[in-house]
Structure 1
Amino acid sequence: MLDNGTSDDNRPDGAPGRLATTALITGAAHGIGEEVARQLSRLGTRVVVSARNPVDAAAAVERVDGAEALPVGLDISDQESVDTAAAAFAARWAHLDILINNAAAHPDRDETPSRANLAIATDAFQVTLFGTWRTTQAFLPLLRRSNHPRIVNVSSGAGSHTDERYGFPVFGGTAATHAISKAALNAFTAVLAAELADTPVIVNAVCPGVTATVPGAEAFGARPVEESAPGVVWAATLPDDGPRGGFFRDAQPLGW
């Protein structure tokens, strides 16, 4: 487990000591985000769960031992919401060690490039790409207060040229916006990592694989969230000499 080695002014019990490793997960009120919160919390991480509706975040922490809810909503597609959430976080927690950009638009599995509704596609990019981008910008100052900051962008092999399971050539151009936006997210990851190469901030993208986040998904080959979350947790808890700017599934490199 990471330890940022800073004296803790915000320990809930008021005791002196060292700050707990603190993680913020977007879109964590259900599915893989909630499971990542659960697994990080078991490692002793102070996990802050966020969702567009703070009521949903509060409900999620009832199911995740040790987690706390961001007291305001975090809609990553809305700049004002992101700024408000960052200010609320800073008022409660002095620093941020791990930012997991998990929130994303829901894919239309049948959409192809030639038939895509570009207005809907634009909205999806506002979440998957620009939402992650603006959230990272807003929380980066808090990450810079950590000695071991990590950013994990939850991506997809659908945004890869070479992934034999989910990549561009596999499904005949379907789920077009999902694939293109995830490719853009991977590019953002690489460029951000290059900018931060000489800093402690380690940035990577992770494909969790096709995950059963809705009832019945297992029948279509999706694996349980318990099996998909560890790859995200691995990237969130990398050592200081860990990889940067990479794309991974289950802690193994993926081609772009």
Structure 2
Amino acid sequence: MSEARIALVTGANKGIGYEIAAGLGALGYRVGVGARDEARRETAVAKLRAAGVDAFGVPLDVTGDRSVTDAADLVERQAGRLDVLVNNAGISGETGPGWVQDPTTLDLDVVREVVETNVIGVIRVTNAMLPLLRRSASPRIVNASSSVGSVTWQADPDIDVGPIMAAYSPTKSFLNAVTVHYARQFAGTNILINAACPGLVATDFTGFQGRPPEQAAATAIRLATLPDGGPTGSFFNDDGVIPW
């Protein structure tokens, strides 16, 4: 069994996920690069290795039971345990003009697709990886959320939370609630689980508007490396706790 700390980052072939993997790798973690696309995954692994990161590819589609089971088997063969799981993979779903998802005209298939990836996918991956996480002395789980998942902020007319995204935003509220329930289930154990908001980030997800992904990865990396006794069941951005 490897002595290096082991991390798995989903959706790690680009953007924030890649920078989280790079940041953990720079801290000495051996990093599994979870991604669906083989070419992009292997390109990311090669780039990380060139930067000195001990990285390995993990074929992973969070919407597929078999894919997730196979990924857990691969991590077990590669490392024997898992110290950090970052559930970063996510999608926005189809939007209209102005990046709007109008609740009165939503395509229910779009809603189902976004929930399947952003919520059910996180549950699927987390539960598949739990046996490996339980072998760690200090397991950490980070769920990539968003400030648009804060019901408090969404309901405040004085806070600018961007366009109405009636498929995407509620999936992050859903994910936040799931995170709380995991934290309750893990109470009294050494597993810490939190949600991280990266802010507006310049990736293809946002049309490359916002701050650099390497800056946006900082909160997730901090939560992934919390000391024992650190916070759990909370929602953070760079400035601290975000209201649910």
- Give your verdict on TM over 0.5: yes
SS in 2 for 1:211: coil
Residues of 1 paired with 2:57 and 2:76: CA distance? 11
TM-score by length of 1: 0.86
Residue 69 of structure 1, aligned match among 26, 48, 56:
56
Bigger share in helix: 2
Question: Aligned pair 1:225/2:209, yes or no?
Answer: no
Residue 175 of structure 1, aligned match among 150, 165, 182:
165
**Following TM superposition, by how much is the alpha carbon of 1:106 offset from its aligned partner in structure 2, in angstroms?**
2.6
What is the aligned length? Answer: 234
Q: 1:1-256 alignment to 2 at 5 Å?
A: 9-10=1-2, 19-64=3-48, 65=51, 66-71=53-58, 73-107=59-93, 108=95, 109-163=99-153, 167-169=154-156, 170=160, 174-214=164-204, 217=207, 220=209, 222-250=210-238, 252-256=240-244
TM-score by length of 2: 0.90
- Which amino acid in 2 is paired with 1:91? R
RMSD, aligned α-carbons: 1.8
**Following TM superposition, by how much is the alpha carbon of 1:215 offset from its aligned partner in structure 2, in angstroms?**
9.7
**Following TM superposition, by how much is the alpha carbon of 1:171 offset from its aligned partner in structure 2, in angstroms?**
5.2
Question: Identity of paired residues, percent?
Answer: 38
Residues of 2 paired with 1:183 and 1:23: CA distance? 25
Structure 2, unmatched stretches of 5+, are none
Moved over 6 A (4+): none
SS in 2 for 1:63: helix
**Following TM superposition, by how much is the alpha carbon of 1:133 offset from its aligned partner in structure 2, in angstroms?**
0.4
Residues of 2 paired with 1:80 and 1:51: CA distance? 14
- Which amino acid in 1 is paired with 2:62? I
CA 171–85 in structure 1, closer or farther in 2 if over 3 Å, else same:
same
SS in 2 for 1:113: coil
**Following TM superposition, by how much is the alpha carbon of 1:190 offset from its aligned partner in structure 2, in angstroms?**
0.3
CA 182–237 in structure 1, closer or farther in 2 if over 3 Å, else same:
same
SS in 1 for 2:142: strand
